[in-house]
Amino acid sequence: MGRIAGRLLMAIGVIHCALFLWWGRRALVAIWQDGFFNTIDPHKDRQMIFWSLCFGVLAISLGQVVSWLEAQGKRTPAFLGWEFLALFVVGGMLMPYSGGWLALVPALLIIIGSRHKRRVSVDAETDAMIKEGLEAKGAICC
């Protein structure tokens, strides 16, 4: 479930960045034309674009971490899912007509996935050797 959650977080981040790069193109051009340094405050449109892009990049990065953990055979900690859940519920309540509700899916997948016991299989040969060893000791029958 974590790989799906990670991929969903990355997709949400990419979509978020793409949309806000398009919607905020005028503000981004203005930032560039003003010399880039110290050009965000006090412009509300520039602040919105900046923080929206920061969230998108952060979502991509966190999605990569979640996918990497799963690829390593490790579970994503439940606290991360609970924190995402809290963040996205509050965000959805503050902006009910946003895409924030979509992010509830990876948060819930992380929570659910953290509850399942993970069994990492090295390969079929190693699994067979472990099973034979346990059978020889009488630990496994049939």
pTM: 0.75
CB atoms within 10 A of CB 50: 19
Nearest to 30, CA basis, from 50, 46, 51: 46
82-116 pLDDT per residue, tens: 999 999 999 889 988 888 888 899 999 999 998 87
33-58 pLDDT per residue, tens: 999 898 898 899 999 999 999 999 99
Terminal C-alpha separation, the chain: 31
pLDDT-based confidence at residue 3 (cuts at 50, 70, 90):
confident
d(CA 1, CA 32): 41
DSSP character string of 104-121: HHHHHHHHHHHHSPP---
